[in-house]
Amino acid sequence: MSAKAASEREEELLLRAQRVLPGGSFGNFPADIVIREGQGGRVWDENGREYVDFLLGSGPMLLGHAHPEVSGAAEAQLKRGTTFFADNRAGIELAEEIVAAVPCAEKLRFVSSGSEADLYAMRAARAFRRRDKILKFEGGYHGMSDYSLMSLAPKSPGNFPRPIPDSAGIPKSLANEVLVAPFNDIDAASSIIREHKSELAGVIVEPLQRILQPEPGFLEGLRKVTAETGVPLIFDEVVTGFRLAYGGAQEYYGVVPDLCTLGKIIGGGFPLAAIAGNAEIMAHFDKDAVGEEGFLMQVGTLSGNPMAAVAGLKTLEILRRPGAYERLFATGRELMAQLSGILKKKGVTAQVCGEAPLFDAVFSREPVRDYRGTLAGDQGLLRRFNRLLRERGILKGESKYYVSLAHDEEDLRQTREAWEGALEALLAG
């Protein structure tokens, strides 16, 4: 197909999307690109343009796109059936593997998305504690539920612990059920937890908040104060689970919560997520164990479906192979070091934040330790930089590079050249 024909086909698809989709998109990514296919660390759009892919489907494709072993497992299951709304061998085996790997996991329950997992984890904490309030951290992302969309991205942050809704349609009454604390400020968080311990059902936190590393002692301090007050601690590991280490952020940082949520990687590119945690709290999903009053009802048409389970099992098998995490971290560290060096060489003031498997630059003079620190960065400059990178064949999210095991030396070379060219164009105005 000629370049002109491909461009016309993509334009036609974009127009069709405008007619049937609000904003012309699925709501995830700008509505000016339609991805046709992916292979390894790269994707191609409907116009035939090729990109080094650091979006990775928003993170699940840690092995890269269309990994032959994962695809083979899914194809084999396809012939045996795609979903049953009943227990299946692959789902049980995946649950066993997750429980063996994740320090806090004694039992788990499957759902289909990270949003669902976070919603049910907070509900489980409320059922266990028989309290209503949840404490979260400003800027922390926990999916799309009403509780989660409080102080996720407030443009004008308020006074702690008062939450600010991030979406239309959230009940005003919810402001009384959510408390908000600053990330990486253990004194402030501890003070709020102790003050409201009689009302708190749980504390939910991303152990790596977006790309913000926890400062030494922060997660440890959260574990200490929640244990002392009897308030369950929930780690949202939808992103970090099986990414920072095989046992997730709780293994990587050495802090074990009461509950965690998992997603993305455990489904191998298919819709799958889970709530996992200690048996006492997870018992609320079992009516026979807790009775009618304590029972937390949860059903889902596709929860634990075998297509996702076999893809997840194969993905975890590959991650257990010797050298997998060493390669992943080596690639990410090289990218972070090179981005830092290029920014410095070009005289651009920025902080490269995150861990090797996921990071980004924040155009700020000051170290960035919390959400308000990210607001101090030049977000318009970041958006222009991202746009210039896309023009040079680099696809990434608004504020994150996801690194995969499939990214190779050629991908890194092209990325370095794109960073150089995009910064030169940025500085030229």
Q: In the chain, which segments carry CATH 3.90.1150.10?
A: 33-66+324-428
What is residue 164's predicted lDDT score, i.e. its pLDDT? 93
Rounded Cα distance, 171 and 175, in Å: 8
Of the candidates 264, 314, 396, 400, the residue annotated as catalytic is: 264
For strands 358-362 and 351-355, give the pairing: antiparallel
Show the tokens assigned to 324: 């997998």
What is residue 11's predicted lDDT score, i.e. its pLDDT? 87
Q: In the chain, which segments carry CATH 3.40.640.10?
A: 68-319
Of the candidates 141, 147, 246, 402, the residue annotated as catalytic is: 141
Instruction: Decide if 197 is catalytic.
Output: no
Instruction: Decide if 236 is catalytic.
Output: yes
Evaluate whether 250 touches 207 at the Cβ level (below 8 Å): yes
Mention the CATH class of domain 33-66+324-428. alpha beta
Rounded Cα distance, 235 and 375, in Å: 24
DSSP states along 226-275: HHHHTPPEEEEETTTTTTTSTT-HHHHHT---SEEEE-GGGGTTSS-EEE
For 250, the 3-state DSSP assignment is helix
Instruction: Decide if 79 is catalytic.
Output: no
Show the tokens assigned to 2: 């000629």
What is residue 2's predicted lDDT score, i.e. its pLDDT? 65
For 237, the 3-state DSSP assignment is strand
Per-10-residue mean pLDDT of the chain, 429 residues long, equals 72 92 90 94 96 98 98 98 96 98 98 98 98 97 95 88 94 94 98 98 98 98 98 98 98 98 98 98 98 96 97 98 98 98 96 98 95 93 96 96 98 98 92
For 201, the 3-state DSSP assignment is strand
Of the candidates 53, 118, 236, 360, the residue annotated as catalytic is: 236
The DSSP symbol for 354 reads E
Evaluate whether 418 touches 386 at the Cβ level (below 8 Å): no
* Sign of the CA dihedral running 388, 29, 62, 214: positive
Environment class of residue 220 by beta-carbon count within 10 Å: exposed (0-12), middle (13-18) or buried (19+)? middle
Show the tokens assigned to 305: 């479906």
Evaluate whether 253 touches 219 at the Cβ level (below 8 Å): yes
Architecture of domain 68-319: 3-Layer(aba) Sandwich (3.40)
What is residue 21's predicted lDDT score, i.e. its pLDDT? 92
